[in-house]
Amino acid sequence: MRRHTVLNNTLSLIVCGLLVGAVVAAAAFPPLALSGMGAKEGAEAFGATAYDRERRLPGGHHPRRPGAARW
């Protein structure tokens, strides 16, 4: 018969906690990543000025605004 000592119980608790943590992290990653990407796109769209929207060229490129700082 198996003995249930404090050490065995503690190790079982740690292993189960790590497994549950990995499962929760794997389940939570896709929605959190999508919400982060959506927030980034929203911030970029909000930050675009009317000049940028009017001057946007095909392929996502746009010319540098006159007087704008170079990075």
Structural domain containing residue 41: 30-57
What would the mean pLDDT of 42-68 be, rounded to a whole number? 63
Tell me, yes or no, whether 10 lies in a domain.
no
Tell me, yes or no, whether 47 lies in a domain.
yes
Tell me, yes or no, whether 21 lies in a domain.
no
Tell me, yes or no, whether 70 lies in a domain.
no
Model confidence at 26: pLDDT above 90: yes
Tell me, yes or no, whether 8 lies in a domain.
no
Model confidence at 2: pLDDT above 80: no
Number of domains making up the chain: 1
pLDDT in the model for residue 45: 78
Report the C-alpha gap between 62 and 49 in whole angstroms.
12
Model confidence at 32: pLDDT above 70: yes
Tell me, yes or no, whether 44 lies in a domain.
yes
Tell me, yes or no, whether 46 lies in a domain.
yes
Could you tell me the pTM of the whole model? 0.53
What would the mean pLDDT of 12-32 be, rounded to a whole number? 96
Contact 63, 57 (CB under 8 A): yes
Tell me, yes or no, whether 64 lies in a domain.
no
Report the C-alpha gap between 41 and 36 in whole angstroms.
9
